[in-house]
Chains A and B, each alone.
Chain A
């Protein structure tokens, strides 16, 4: 099994993260925007200026036209995007849809902390065709541990009230899913059962944005300890054992799909080329905002929608690094039999500071967890295939399936 080689020419962006507001009404203690090495948020305007917004949707449309894109995915993000106000967001989404070629489908979503969701906002999202992802980490004792407002008050009660609204039949089609940061010190099944009690259509379980220099909580040097796999395995078993009745979980589905020789639907595993461009509140064209957890300014490129098309960002070395496939991985990963599934893990998780760290030329800081989790999923799936010959990985299957898919 292998990760596909990277493209010879850059692949156009198809996913656009637009930071419509640079501040937040929560002060989550683990936030990668405000609590990491990067200080760029301090220099950002609070909200996106009208001219910056117009240039942003024009640049996206220009990119779609130039590359003949059949669809684009635009995520309204922040900070907290709802602080931008529904009037601004409506103007942005209408401007975007009007500017895009008629042959380009626009999928628009917003990722919110949920505290500002009410009937007015939901009616607005219906009217503009915006789907909603909400961040929720678990029951109050888990969620409110980190996700508090500036006064230190937990936000769970407000998010739970919003989810009750969102789950009503009239609003449910808007709901994309829940976004949950894994905390390995919590009870995984209590957390999972709390999350599914809201009946979300999907769960996105994310590993905290740590790296070799600033490791995630609990990720110790001992490779025999796997706190994140220890958390994920029972949740996977509960999810898998639900007979297909549980919400979709992108990480779980992607690991299974990759084991079967398919593609990943998440950037965290599989090593597929990133197609993401981030437009900051001031119009700066940046790399993934997750890089804020590596060093100050790591996501900055010096480009802006005010002066450059998105094609200029395509030429940035940081984009090439995310589209390099197997060639972009360190020698340890390239030689590893799990690489077709983990893909080297999430790019920011590979970072290590200092001259000996070689930047991102390292395995994921989550390598032990990924190895254990992938092995568990593989054995669980194999056990349900009594007639199949599932001997040790031979090295050709996944590459064969993907050979005709290098578009």
Chain B
């Protein structure tokens, strides 16, 4: 059951200077996509890509990869494999990296 916007909103009021209500649906680039209320059956699944096997690569050698994203990934994988605690596969609705050591 959808919530009435005011039902959950308590007595909180927007601060002064908040933008006025606008008809955003009329703005360019915001065309609604169709929602499907139900699917009659499970469709065929995705055609599978021909996946290169990167898991056989030497992570130690990848530490010197010229692409910094890959070198960093190799470092991260090695660190996580060597961690005292199993790294978390973190809850998705939070924007906090799990192996951020700056906390």
* Residues from 218 to 247 in A contacting B, C-beta threshold 8 Å: 218-224, 226-227, 240, 243-244
* Residues from 40 to 91 in B contacting A, C-beta threshold 8 Å: 40, 42-57, 59, 62, 65-70, 72-74, 76-77, 80-81, 84-91
Interface residues on B, range: 35 or more
Cβ of B1: which chain A residues have Cβ within 8 Å of it? 39
Known: A133-B94, A149-B18, A214-B37. A262 touches B45 (CB 8 A): no
Cβ of A276: which chain B residues have Cβ within 8 Å of it? 91
Cβ of B84: which chain A residues have Cβ within 8 Å of it? 70
Complex Cα–Cα for A338 and B45 (A): 12
Complex Cα–Cα for A393 and B59 (A): 17
User: Min CB distance, B5 to chain A, in Å?
Assistant: 4
Q: Are B88 and A265 in contact (CB under 8 A)?
A: yes
Q: Are B49 and A401 in contact (CB under 8 A)?
A: no
Contact of A384 among B14, B37, B50, B65 (CB under 8 A): B65
Number of A residues whose C-beta is below 8 Å from B?
Answer: 143
Q: Are B67 and A223 in contact (CB under 8 A)?
A: no
Q: Confirm or deny: A360 has a beta carbon within 8 angstroms of a beta carbon on chain B.
A: no
Q: Are B39 and A141 in contact (CB under 8 A)?
A: no
Cβ of A187: which chain B residues have Cβ within 8 Å of it? 29
Q: Are A384 and B67 in contact (CB under 8 A)?
A: yes
Cβ of B98: which chain A residues have Cβ within 8 Å of it? 73, 265
Contact of B95 among A151, A157, A204, A270 (CB under 8 A): A204
Cβ of A367: which chain B residues have Cβ within 8 Å of it? 45-46
Q: Are A397 and B55 in contact (CB under 8 A)?
A: yes
Contact of A337 among B5, B51, B69 (CB under 8 A): B51
Contact of A222 among B43, B88, B96, B102 (CB under 8 A): B43
* Residues from 14 to 46 in B contacting A, C-beta threshold 8 Å: 14-15, 18-22, 24-25, 27-40, 42-46
Additional pairs, 15, CB under 8 Å, beyond known A15-B91, A27-B3, A34-B3 = A115-B14, A142-B29, A149-B5, A215-B35, A215-B36, A215-B39, A221-B43, A226-B46, A260-B55, A262-B73, A275-B89, A368-B46, A392-B52, A393-B51, A402-B81
Q: Which residues of A contact B (CB under 8 A)?
A: 1, 11, 14-15, 17, 23-25, 27, 32, 34-35, 39, 41, 46, 69-71, 73, 75, 77, 79, 83, 107-109, 111, 115, 129, 131, 133-135, 141-142, 144-145, 149-154, 156-158, 173, 176-179, 184-187, 190, 201-204, 206, 212-215, 217-224, 226-227, 240, 243-244, 248, 250, 253, 256-257, 259-268, 270, 272-276, 288-290, 332, 336-338, 340-341, 346, 352, 362-363, 367-372, 374-376, 378-379, 381-382, 384-385, 388-394, 396-398, 400-402, 404-405, 407
A-B pairs with beta carbons under 8 Å apart, 9 shown: A27-B3, A142-B29, A152-B5, A187-B29, A212-B39, A262-B77, A372-B49, A394-B56, A401-B55
8 shortest interchain CB distances as A-B pairs: A375-B49, A397-B55, A133-B95, A244-B68, A262-B77, A261-B55, A27-B5, A371-B46
